[in-house]
Amino acid sequence: MDMENLRAELSEALDEAEWNWLAPHARRDSLIVVSPDLDLIDVGVAIASDNVPYVQRWIDEALIQKPSPAQISDWDQHQNKRFSALIVQPYVLVQEMV
């Protein structure tokens, strides 16, 4: 699949989700929190196309990371907290909605 098709497919897959839907993914260790400084689709394309240099740089700069225990605890207390969510198997990429 070329990049444009991949980007279009991921754009269609972008959705909103509440924490109560995302929590099981966090427990499975498949949730990735994406900084609001990044575009969720860009991150999804990089992960789906195995663009290691980009992904590694974002990890090194803590722009994408697994949720911290403190974040999970906070979100567990706010089950209806909303996120932008994008499934890129085997991960679920999320950004907090403000």
* Mean pLDDT split into 10-residue runs, the chain, 98 residues: 90 96 96 97 96 97 97 94 96 94
pLDDT at res. 1: 67
Omega before 90 cis (within 30°)? yes
- Measuring CA to CA, which residue among 5, 7, 17, 83 is closest to residue 46? 7
pTM of full prediction above 0.85: yes
Whole-number pLDDT of residue 96: 94
Both tokens of residue 29? 């260790």
In DSSP terms, 91 is beta-bridged to 88
Report the pLDDT value the prediction gives residue 98, as an integer from 0 to 100. 78
Pick the closest to residue 93 from 42, 26, 44, 50 (CA basis): 44
The dihedral sign for the CA sequence 6, 8, 12, 16 = positive
